[in-house]
Amino acid sequence: MKSANLPQRVAAAAALCASLLLAPVSQAEESILERSFCVFDPVGANGPLFAITKTFQPVAMKEGIKLDLRAYTDEKVAAEDFKAGQCDAVLLTGTRAREFNKFTGTLEAMGAVPGEEEMRLLYNTLSQAKARPFLIDGPYEVAGVFPGGAVYLHTRDRSIDSVEELQGKRIATLDFDTASVRMVRHVGASVVGSNSANFAGKFNNGSVDLAYAPAVAYSPLELYKGVQPNGGVFKYALAYMNFQVIIHRDRFPDDAGQMVRDQAIKRIDEAYQIIDQAEADIPEDVWMHPPQEDVAEYDKMLRKVRLSLLEDGVYDERAIKLMKAIRCRVDGSRSECAS
């Protein structure tokens, strides 16, 4: 079941991550800079992403950077080390990045980005120089944001094919994420506290009935072991995952963040090729396609939860308004666009 194209996809992802961090700094100073980059990889130092990222150390040295890469299987630890100043830069998921920037941490809001067209418009907007004030929060700057793909619900049992069927079911839930916890409870399911390092194992061994993840995690985290033989992947985007490079502003040139964003937007097609290939590699008979009338109801449900989280201060109002404007620009017939 493992994809034959996985090494190429991982290599492309690694190249994208490395280029985002390396390009601006190498252009900023000619003297040797020692900078640490903490990389979240669910598999750790032996993981494919971290292994290939290591090949960029000699490239960085030629550009005047002595790059210290550090692998983390626990995203929480990576975030804490970065906050403590032990990392000059860090690669995190958008949800975990929320503690460093509430605005960009809202980009993974439930149902806020329905698809690729909306996400491309969002990234183009954030890559503009005038968007920088939204990307700075105290000592931190979000130097780059790039897509991880739509987040889908994975189930071990295909009979769980509606919101009603979720009641009482055990869902591996990122327990640090208020939004995910509230969503699971909203549908009447049971929260099983998990993190990025153990959710796949819990799903694969049957400790939980369902888990949520983007298609790019299907093969590397062996989620097909949980899906087989009676499960599936529900093809409805609960949210849109992203990865963010965050830097300590005082450890990089002032224009570093914008240079990273300029590099990121130039290579966004590469990121989408990785996502598209990952989705194509999931067998067609694994996908579960909801009826269109159900999709409209799911959209309304996610909007209700999203607005309640905004009201409680979990989400940033500016980001929520921006993403609504983008949704309505793409599809003005949406019911929310009349308000």
pLDDT confidence bin for 264, thresholds 50/70/90: confident
Q: What percent of the chain has pLDDT over 90?
A: 56
pLDDT at 205 over 90: yes
Per-residue model confidence (pLDDT) at position 317: 96
Q: How confident is the model at residue 127 (pLDDT cuts 50, 70, 90)?
A: very high
* pLDDT reading at 105 higher than 60: yes
Q: What integer pLDDT is reported at residue 123 of this predicted model?
A: 93
pLDDT (0 to 100) of residue 29: 46
Q: pLDDT band for 53, please (50, 70, 90 cuts).
A: low
- CA dist 273 and 276 (Å) reads 5
Model pLDDT, residue 270: 83
* pLDDT above 60: residue 228: yes
pLDDT band at 27 (very low <50, low <70, confident <90, very high): very low
Q: What would the mean pLDDT of 167-186 be, rounded to a whole number?
A: 93
Q: Using one digit for the tens of pLDDT, what is the confidence trace for 300-313?
A: 899 999 999 999 99
Determine which of 66-70, 243-247, 320-324 has the lowest per-residue pLDDT on average: 66-70
Q: Residue 7's pLDDT is what?
A: 52
> What is the residue-wise DSSP string for 10-57?
HHHHHHHHHHHHHHHHHHH-SS-EEEEEEEE-TTGGGSHHHHHHGGGH
pLDDT of res. 268:
86
Nearest to 233 by CA among 220, 224, 221, 246: 224
pLDDT exceeds cutoff 70 at 226: yes
Any idea which of 23-32, 56-65, 254-263 has the lowest mean pLDDT? 23-32
Low-confidence winner among 41-50, 75-84, 149-158, 205-214 (lowest mean pLDDT) = 41-50
What is the CA 290 to chain-centroid distance, rounded? Answer: 23
Give 275's strand partners. Answer: none
Return all residues near 247 (Cβ < 8 A) that are at least 6 apart: 88, 89, 140, 141, 143, 256, 257
Provide the pLDDT for residue 141.
Answer: 96
What six digits make up the tokens of 116?
A: 């690729």
> What pLDDT, on the 0 to 100 scale, is given for residue 65?
64
Residue 41 binned pLDDT confidence (cut-offs 50, 70, 90)? confident
Residue identified by tokens 């921006």 is 322
User: If pLDDT is split at 50, 70 and 90, which confidence band does 2 have?
Assistant: very low
pTM of the model: 0.86
Quote the CA–CA distance of 70 and 23 in Å, as a whole number.
Answer: 19
